[in-house]
Amino acid sequence: MTVEEPQQTTRPRYGAEIAIVLLLSLGQSAVYSIVSLTAKLTAEKPLAQQTTTLNPTVSPRPYLDLTYQTLGIFFALIPVALAFFLLAKDRIGPRELGIDYRRPGYDIGWGISLAAGIGLPGLLLVYAALQLGINAQIRPSGLEPYWWSVPILILSAIQNSVLEEVIVVGYLVTRLRTMSLTPVWIIAASAVLRGSYHLYQGFGGFIGNAIMGVVFAAFFLKTKRLMPLIVAHSLLDIVAFVGYQLLPDSWLTWLSV
C-alpha cells in the first residue's frame, strides 16, 4: 500500500459528505440567495429601493405564528446535529471544536471584541453599499410586537449563530483540513460560502459577510475554538434583530435613508 492511497479514498468520501451537509443547510440557502438576488436585479425597481425582511411573520394568528417560528428555529438546527454525528465517527466532538465551558472569560471576551470589531465597520459597509445601489434595504424583523417577539428574535439570533459557525467554520474547516487543503484555500472556501448565502441582501451583504468569514475561519484555525465565534455572531444578530424591533419608527426611517 502506498502513502497516496488513503488520501485518494479520503478526498471523494469527504467531498460527497460535505456536499450533502451543505445542500441540506447553508449551501441550499446560497442557491436560493442567488435566485433571490437575480430576481431583485431583474425587477423594475433598483436594488437599493427594494427591501429584504428577515424573521418575517408567517401567520396573522399570533400563537400559530409563534408555533411556526419555534419549529423553524428547531428544524434549522438539525444540520448541526448531522454535522456532529458525522464528525463523531472520527472522534471529533463539540469539545474538539471548542464548544464547551472550559474558558468562559476567554470566549466571552473574544466574542465581544470580535462583535465590536466587525459590527461597526459592517454597518458602515451596508450603508455605503446602499448608497452605491448595490444592496437592498435590510429589515431585520418582520414580526408583530407580541409578548414573545423579542424572545423569539433572541432564539433566532442564537440559532443563526450556532448553525453558521458549526457548519461553515467548525465542520467545513475540519473536513477541508482532513483533505489536506492549505489554510488559504480553507479560509477562502469558508468565506465565499458565508458570503454566498447572504447574497439575497445584495453585493454589500456578500462582501461584508465574506470579510467576516475570513476573520472567523482564520480565528478558528489559530485557536480551535468556536465558542467566541458563536458569542460574537449571537451578539451581532441580537443587536440587529431586537434593536430593530424596539427602536422607534422615526429612528428606523432615519437609519434607512
Residue carrying the nine cell digits 437592498: 136
Single pTM value for the model: 0.91
Of 83, 255, 105, whose CA–CA distance to 175 is shortest?
83
In a 10 Å sphere around its CB, with 0-12 CB exposed, 13-18 middle and 19+ buried, how is residue 34 labelled?
A: middle
User: Can you give the pLDDT at residue 248?
Assistant: 62
Q: What's the chain's Rg over C-alpha atoms?
A: 19
Dmax (CA) of the chain:
71
User: Can you give the pLDDT at residue 127?
Assistant: 85
User: Can you give the pLDDT at residue 182?
Assistant: 96
Q: Which residues, listed in sequence order, are joined to residue 56 by a DSSP beta bridge? A: 142
Give, for all 257 residues of the chain, the pLDDT tens digit: 444 444 444 454 799 999 999 999 999 999 999 999 999 999 999 999 999 999 999 999 999 999 999 999 999 999 999 999 999 999 999 999 999 999 999 999 999 999 999 998 988 998 899 889 999 999 999 999 999 999 999 999 999 999 999 999 999 999 999 998 999 999 999 999 999 999 999 999 999 999 999 999 999 999 999 999 999 999 999 999 998 888 766 555 544 44
Please name the amino acid found at residue 76.
A
- One DSSP character per residue, the chain reads --THHHHHHHHHHHHHHHHHHHHTTHHHHHHHHHHHHHHHHTSSS-GGG-EEESSB---SSHHHHHHHHHHHHHHHTHHHHHHHHHHHTTT--GGGGT-SSS-HHHHHHHHHHHHHHHHHHHHHHHHHHHHHT-BPEEES-B----TTHHHHHHHHHHHHHHHHIIIIIIIHHHHHHHTT--HHHHHHHHHHHHHHTTGGGBHHHHHHHHHHHHHHHHHHHHH---HHHHHHHHHHHHHHHHHHHHS-HHHHHHHT-
Of 11, 152, 150, 145, whose CA–CA distance to 70 is shortest?
152
User: Can you give the pLDDT at residue 126?
Assistant: 84
Q: What's the rounded Cα separation, in Å, for the pair 41 and 91?
A: 46
Whether the CB-CB separation of 230 and 165 falls below 8 Å is answered with yes
Of 246, 256, 230, 64, whose CA–CA distance to 141 is shortest?
246
Q: What's the rounded Cα separation, in Å, for the pair 28 and 140?
A: 21
Neighbours of 182 (CB within 10 A): 10
